[in-house]
Amino acid sequence: MFKIYQSLLIYVITPIMKYFLSLFICLLIGFNSFSMNVDTASLIYKSEIKLDKLFKELRKRGNSNQDYLSINKEFKKELNEVLKLDAAFTYPFDSLKSTMSTITSPDGEFRLFNWNIEMESGINTFHCFILKKKGNIIELRDNYRFIQNPELKNLNQRNWYGALYYKIIPMKKGKYTLLGWNGKDAITTQKVMETMSLSRKSAKFGFDIFEFPGDRIKKKRIILEYSNTAYVSLKHYSTKNEQQIVFSHLSPSTPQMEGFYQYYYPDLSTDRFILTNKGNWLFESDSEIKNPETRGDKDYNKPE
């Protein structure tokens, strides 16, 4: 009889013990996970403070080129290490948002950590880490000053036409269009329309998707170059039925200045690229972007 009671007791208690043991293990794992997350966030925060301090040194005027290179080397090393941490992809890096580009692709596949340095001569250099969702890090190496005919070249992460990107546009077949700024030098500035795709450990730049009516040659990227004193707009607009990139039309200040881009300015007209069903950008010249009509429009007298 005692053996029967013993068996029944074990039969009842064992599931209860298993339940509480499982509960204890889950709580322990959850606590450890929470602890690890807190520790990781703390590490990233400390690194962010250091990065912010280093970046302010990069923005100081009067440093020598050697100073800039030395500080940037330390900055890149610190940033590369912090991006290896699991929480880096979702960490906001609020302290850096006002000084560098930390944008995430709309499809959530990657994040850009992108900045520029203005050297003593006024020439800009560009730097970028691409952090993929799965944790892979791709470093881009700027070479824009030595790339001939850049609008027709296939490039990669080791030979990159540097820019500071502010817009990511997902395309078909894993491609992206990037809109960016290149401060170039002391006399001209550029706006850049770039095309990119990513693999596990590499990046490719330059796809034949910029079409021009009547021209058989498609461009791989578009570069708008103009005077440092000008403001040039380059924006992406998206509706349910259409996507377009609209930008200022540039002209030389006089016909004699054609080809001298320090004398190129917006002429108050606009151009655009419209996304086709094939996934290409089709150029349309001098497109008009109009404000909605108002009641007072009919009373407007055009000046002589």
Instruction: Give which of 138, 36, 53, 130 is closest to 87, Cα–Cα.
Output: 36
Instruction: Identify which of 198, 190, 184, 191 has the alpha carbon closest to the alpha carbon of residue 156.
Output: 198
User: Hey, which residues does 175 pair with through a beta bridge?
Assistant: 197
pLDDT tens track for 224-256: 999 999 999 999 999 999 999 999 999 999 999
Enter the tokens of residue 136. 């892979």
Task: Say what the pLDDT of residue 38 is.
Answer: 65
Cβ contacts of 213 within 8 Å, gap of 6 or more: 282, 283
Structure-derived torsion over alpha carbons of residues 277, 281, 283, 287, reported in degrees to the nearest 10: 80
The pLDDT of residue 286 is 77
Spacing of C-alpha 68 from chain mean position:
23
Angle 88-133-110 (CA atoms, 0-180°, nearest 5)? 95
Contact predicate 157/203, CB 8 Å: yes
Q: What is the pLDDT of residue 37?
A: 67
Whole-angstrom distance, CA of residue 276 vs CA of residue 282:
7
Q: What pLDDT, on a 0 to 100 scale, did the predictor assign at position 18?
A: 47
**Structure confidence at residue 3 (pLDDT):** 46
The sheet carrying 110-118 orders its strands as 110-118, 124-132, 137-141
Ranges of the chain whose pLDDT falls below 50: 2-13, 18-36, 289-294, 296-297, 299-304
Q: What is the 3-state secondary structure (H, E, C) of the chain?
A: CHHHHHHHHHHHHHHHHHHHHHHHHHHHHHHHHHHHHHHHHHHHHHHHHHHHHHHHHHCCCCCCHHHHHHHHHHHHHHHHHHHCCHHHHCCCCHHHCCCCECCECCCCCEEEEEEEEECCCCCEEEEEEEEECCCCEEEEEECHHHCCCHHHCCEECCEECCCEEEEEEECHHHEEEEEEEECCCCCEEEEEEEEEEECCCCEEECCCCEEECCEEEEECCEEEEEECCCCCCEEEEECCCCEEEEEEEEEECCHHHCCCHHHEEEEEEEEEEEECCCCCEEEEEEECCCCCCCHHHHHCCCCC
Residue among 254, 247, 153 nearest 195 (CA): 153
Residue 172 in tokens: 């078909």
Which residues, at least 6 apart from 143, have a Cβ–Cβ distance to it below 8 Å? 159, 160, 161, 162
